[in-house]
Structure 1
Amino acid sequence: MTGAGGTGGIAAIKSLQRTTDFEVVGADMNPKAIGFYFTDEKIVVPPATADNWIGSLCDCLD
């Protein structure tokens, strides 16, 4: 879930955890994003405007 620190991200994370058996991985550029407290794993990524943003998300899939 990208934007783990935003209110929409937090709501989506909580909803996914209540309604699915999936492991929820949060991604945010802030290493202290509040949504990280609700995810199973966290990934700190560069800002979405950075050239390597998509690459950093793809790296987490390996």
Structure 2
Amino acid sequence: MAVAVFAPIFVLLCGAVVAMVVARRLADESEALDASLRRLDRVENALIPVRVETRHVRRSSDQITRR
């Protein structure tokens, strides 16, 4: 009889603990995703001058080969 009373409580507590762990991991992964997106934005912004310079070099080399 005691098992029938305490088993549902135990199952609910175990489920609550698992839900808490999953929620915490989701929060951690969300923070990690935000950090990686910020790093990606920084890398993309750092590459803008390289892309612009590449276009200038390509444009000037096209003019040289046409002459």
Which structure has the higher relative contact order (CA within 8 Å, separation 6+)? 1
TM-score by length of 1: 0.24
Larger strand share, 1 or 2: 1
